[in-house]
Structure formats: structure tokens, C-alpha cells
Amino acid sequence: MLVVWLFSLLSTAYALDNGLALTPPMGWLTWERFRCITDCKKYPNECISEDLIKRTADLMVSDGYLDAGYEYLGIDDCWLEKTRGEDGRMVPDKNRFPSGMKALSDYIHGKGLKFGMYEDYGNKTCAGYPGVLGNEKIDIDTFVEWEIDYLKLDGCYIDPKAMDEGYPNFGKLLNATGRPILYSCSWPAYQEDKSMRPNYGSIAEHCNLWRNWDDIEDSWASLTKIMNWFGDNQDRMASHAGPGHWNDPDMLLIGNFGLSVDQARVQMAVWAVLAAPLLMSVDLATIRPEFKEILLNKDIIAVNQDELGKQGLRVWQKKDYGLRSKLEVWKRELHDGSFAMAFVSQREDGIPYAASFTNEEMQLPKQTFEVHDLYKEEPVRSWSGSEGFEVRINPSGVKFYKFIPKKTVEIADITVKLLVNNQVNN
């Protein structure tokens, strides 16, 4: 028994300790919106270039994203020349990054933002640019010269079996530089893809965040597929998330082409419950105000960034027909004893349907709560837990609440009553 206890103590105690990502990282990444657009003549506002990055840096500051917590600005794939320099070093595309990466890094840092970059652990990046394999040391030295703060290391063109050693080794080299660099691993995503069972204990020990599964695509179908997978596999993943190390269901689609406002609200709510990194990938110059408002929702960001760092779970689900069909309940415990509760409808038909949930279904303690709508459309209500909790959810939408226990207030009330009674009796 003692051995078992010690083992569980050790296995939960080990985690990457570089002082970074104590709450889920927040920022902006090129990939989901801008992919591998490299033709700046045809698509001057969309190509992966220093202009795009500088424009985004300016907007992250001027439009309140940095103030809201989005601090990392990252370039994903497609920033490199197709071949290394004669000295063996990575060379940024000369036409699209004419000032070089150190100058871009200085620009980003000058704005108060942090600089993220992308490479791949294999021979090539997923889009076919030079990968780090065989050049790990020189590439890390180069990244340190460019003063990057975040590295997403992808896993194309490498055997997933080699990742159990490869990713930790690369992490040790990063650590040895002495520069704190947030380490984003794609290690489990490639293993899950091959039906291997990733060692999440080891992953949490070596990475600040890790992509668990498929790339997200800009559609409701892709979003719900990822939500379903995270719900279905939560028992073997959720406990590995915590301050310094996070599961990553991939970028926010919010503000692009594929999600309605209701669907965008679903992603923001579920990502907050999942303690997921909040990585926007959207053109901040043209984003519509209703989407911007979702990304900047302070109460929801506060749930995502809650200091307890405990990943929430899908606690209730009904897949089939009938009453409450395709509804699900997601719950996250917060540091102050309150709960964030997302009621999601995967129904795409009809009108807003009303449904009612018992506190057993919601897995909430039996007590009175003050319930706040985090999208601020409903007034605050009090719920005692003795009757069902009523929600009315738009098709492919969400109701997202914070349940704050009223316990302390009630105890104070009883105390006051007792005091009054005592005085009357005396």
C-alpha cells in the first residue's frame, strides 16, 4: 500500500518545471486561418509574412487582446526557405521576412508581446520545409538568438515511436539554454493517430502543452468531433492537466468562416471548461464585433485561467432522440469553490429547447447557488438544488454559467437568527 501511495505521489508530483504556463497559454497563431499562404503578390493581407505578424501585433495591443491576456504571437508552419543556409542554419523566407527574425522578435517584444515559433521534430515540417532532425542543437541556438518565448514542435516525418525519447531530449536541450521557452509538443497527437496509447504522465513531465489529437478545421462538424473525442477520452487525459502543463484541443476558430455566433460561444465555453490554451487564429483587422466580444469575454477568460488549473469534464450526455437529445453538460471546478457549467446543445434543428437537470446529473453538491450567466443574457438567479435546473439552449449553442455556493451567506443568516433568538429568550 505504501508503495502504491508513494508511486501515486511521485507520478502526480513530476511535471515540467520551467516556470511557464501556470495557467493555459493565451495568444494568436497563424495556422488555422492563414495556413500555408505564401503568395504575397496575390494575397498580400493573408500571406505568412512579417507584415501579417506586425499588423497582428499592433492589433493585439490596440484592440485589447493583450490586456485580456492574449500575450503570445506565434508563426506556425511555412516561414522557412526550402533549404538551410550554407552554415547549416534555418533561413527565414527572404521575400516574406526580409528584415529577419531577430528584428521581428524585437518588434513583438517592443509591443509587450511574446514571440512564438514553429518547427518540426522530423526531417521536414508538415508543409515540407526543413525540420530539426539532426540539427537540434544549432536550431535551438538559432531560436535563442532570435529570443523566442514559445516553440511549437510538430511531429510530421518522424516515427511516432521515436517521440517518447525525442521530445524529452529536445526539451532538455531547450532547458539547457537557460532561456525560458514554452514548449508545445505534438507528441501524443501522432501517437493517438496510430492508435498508440500515449504516456501522458511523461508528456506532462516534459511539455507545457501538447496537441492530443487531430487538427481542428473551420466547421461545426470539426469542433463537435473534437469536443466528443475530448469527452470520450477524458478519463485518461484530464488528470494530467495542471499548472505548467495542459491538454491542447487546438486553436480557436472564432471569427472565421465556419461557425455561427452561437457555435463560436460553444467553443469558447468548452475551451474554458477544458482549461485549454486559448490560441486565436483569425484576421484581427476584419473580425466582426460579435466574435471579438466572445474572445474578449473577461468572465469566461477568468474561468479558463482559473488558478486551480483543474481541467473540467463532460459530466452528462444524451446522444440519441427524445427529450434532451444531443444535450451535454460540462463542468469545471474553480479555486474559490464555485463551478463553471456549460450546457451544450449539439442539435442543429428547430428553436431553443428548454431542458431541466437535477443536481445529480450536474454532479453538483446539494446546496444553494447563486447562478451567473457568463454571456450575460439572463439575470442572476438563485437555485437551491431541490428542483431541476432549467436551461433553454439555442440550436448548436450553449448556456454557460458560474455556480457560486451560497453556503457562507446561509451560515451567517442562521448565526444572526440564533443571536436574535438568544436575545429574545434572555
Q: How far is the CB of 167 from ligand NAG (least distance, A)?
A: 14
Q: What is the DSSP annotation of 257-318?
A: SS--HHHHHHHHHHHHHTT--EEE-S-TTT--HHHHHHHT-HHHHHHHT-TT----EEEEE-
Tell me which residues in 129-158 interact with ligand NAG (CB under 6 A). Answer: 133, 157-158
Q: Which is nearer to ligand NAG, 122 or 312 (CB)?
A: 122
Element housing 45 (H / E) = none
- Name the residue with cell 455556480: 403
Nearer to ligand NAG by Cβ, of 178 and 289: the residue is 178
Of 268, 236, 244, residue with least CA distance to 399? 268
Catalytic, 262? Answer no
Indicate if 215 belongs to the active site: yes
Binding mask 152-191 for ligand NAG (x = CB under 6 A): -----xxx---------------x--xxx-----------
229 binds ligand NAG (CB under 6 A): no
Q: Are strands 327-333 and 313-317 parallel, antiparallel or unpaired?
A: antiparallel
| Catalytic residue (one of 93, 154, 248, 306) | 154
Shortest separation between residue 157's beta carbon and ligand NAG, angstroms: 5
Does 194 participate in binding ligand NAG (rule CB under 6 A)?
A: no
Q: Is 325 in the site for ligand NAG (CB under 6 A)?
A: no
Burial level of 281, CB count in 10 A (0-12/13-18/19+)? Answer: buried
317 lines the binding site for ligand NAG (CB under 6 A): no
Select 154 or 250, whichever has its Cβ closest to ligand NAG.
154
Strand order in the sheet with 72-74: 246-248, 209-211, 182-185, 150-154, 114-120, 72-74, 26-29, 278-280
Cell numbers describing residue 129: 520545409
Cell numbers standing for residue 4: 502504491
Q: Is 22 in the site for ligand NAG (CB under 6 A)?
A: no
Which DSSP letter does residue 267 get?
H
Q: From CA 25, how far away is CA 31, in angstroms rounded?
A: 16
> How many residues contact ligand NAG, by CB under 6 A?
13
Q: Which stretch binds ligand NAG (CB under 6 A): 11-19, 347-355, 371-379, 403-411?
A: 11-19
Catalytic residue among 51, 214, 215, 373: 215
Coil vs helix vs strand at 136: helix
Give yes or no for residue 226 binding ligand NAG (CB under 6 A). Answer: no
3-state DSSP: the chain helix, strand, coil percent, rounded to 5?
A: 35, 20, 45
Residues 110-129 that bind ligand NAG (CB under 6 A): 122-123
Q: Which residues are catalytic?
A: 154, 215
The contact set with ligand NAG (CB under 6 A) reads 17-19, 122-123, 133, 157-159, 175, 178-180
